[in-house]
């Protein structure tokens, strides 16, 4: 058995959960926060047999697409009052970060 841990943008969460359920996969979601852009995201856990891992990954790839977004680099610090200029940069957002780990024991009680 494997555990697929996936971190996605909040905007993709409902569509991904719905699609996983349609394909017969049960999922658990947890709210989380990204470190770089400090935006909301969701961590989704899916326990599956090893033979189904690639099916889950394909669903994630179909639903969670990467897009480009403008963000301010070097956002101002509250204590700085003068002479500070932040500038926009283009960053990739969305997509998914996927971890697949072995499950030593699985119990459903």
The model's pLDDT over 25-84, given as tens digits with 9 standing for 90+, comes to 999 999 887 765 566 789 999 999 999 999 999 999 999 987 666 666 555 555 655 655
pLDDT at 66: 74
pLDDT at 84: 59
Q: Between 33 and 93, whose confidence is greater?
A: 33
pLDDT at 81: 58
pLDDT at 11: 87
Residues 21, 41: Cα–Cα separation, whole Å = 19
Full set of structural domains in the chain with CATH: 2-65+94-102 (3.30.70.120)
Instruction: State whether residue 93 is helix, strand or coil.
Output: strand
pLDDT at 95: 85
Instruction: State whether residue 7 is helix, strand or coil.
Output: strand
Residues 10, 8: Cα–Cα separation, whole Å = 6
């Amino acid at each position: 058995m494997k555990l697929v841990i996936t971190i996605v943008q909040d905007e993709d969460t409902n569509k991904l959960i719905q699609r996983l359920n349609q394909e017969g996969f049960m999922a658990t979601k947890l709210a989380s926060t990204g470190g770089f852009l400090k935006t909301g995201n969701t961590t989704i856990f899916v326990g599956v047999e090893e033979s189904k891992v690639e099916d889950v990954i394909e669903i994630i790839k179909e639903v969670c697409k990467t897009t480009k977004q403008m963000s301010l680099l070097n956002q101002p610090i509250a204590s700085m009052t003068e002479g500070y200029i932040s500038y926009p940069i283009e960053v990739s957002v969305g997509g998914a970060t996927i971890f697949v780990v072995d499950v030593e024991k699985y119990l459903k009680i």
